[in-house]
Amino acid sequence: MTAGRWLVIGLLAVSCAAGCGGDDGGSGGSSTTEWADGVCSAITTWSESITSTADSLREGNLTADELTNAVDDFESATSDFVDDLTGLEAPDTESGEQAKESLDELSANVEQNASTMKSAVDDASSASEVLEAISTVSATLSTMGKQLSATFTELEQLDPGGELERAFSDADSCDELESGGS
C-alpha cells in the first residue's frame, strides 16, 4: 500500500511549503515561534505513527489482530496529535485566531478520520473484511494528507505579512521536520 507513504511525503512537503526549515537566526523566542514549534513538533511525532501504520499495511498478509494493533497505535498517536494541536494558544499575529481555528478544524477532521479507520478495522474478521478494512485505512490516510495540505494552504493565505512563515522558519522542531526527524 502506497497511500501511507504518500501521506508521509505529503506531510513533510506541505509542512516545508508552509515555511518550515532553515533557522535564520530570527527572533526565536516569540510566542508565534513557540506556536510554530508546537505545530511542527506535533506533526513530527504524528508522522512517525503514520509511517509505522503505513509500514504495517505494506507488509501485506495482515491478520485482523495485526491490523487492529496498527490502527490502535495510530489512533492513540492521533489522539495525542489532536491534544497537542488543540492545546496550542493562537499565535501572536494579526490572523492568529483564524490560524488557531484552522488547526482546530484539522484536529476535528483527523479525529473523525481515525474513528473511521477504527470502525473499519473493528468490523473486520474474515480475510475479505481485513482487505476491505486495509483499503478503508489507506483511503482515510490519503484523506488526512489532503486535509493537512489544505490546512497549510489556508495558513499561508492567512499570513500576508509573512509572520507565520518566519515563525516556522525560526522554530527548531520545524528544522527536524524538514530533515525528516532524527
Domain that includes residue 37, residue range: 3-178
Give the chain's domain count. 1
Average pLDDT by consecutive 10-residue portion of the chain (182 residues)? 37 39 39 90 86 75 80 90 92 89 94 92 84 87 87 83 85 74 44
pLDDT at 177: 66
How far is Cα 138 from Cα 50, in angstroms, rounded to an integer?
11
Per DSSP, 90 falls in state: P
The number of helix segments (H) and strand segments (E) in the chain equals 7, 0
pLDDT at 29: 39
pLDDT at 111: 93
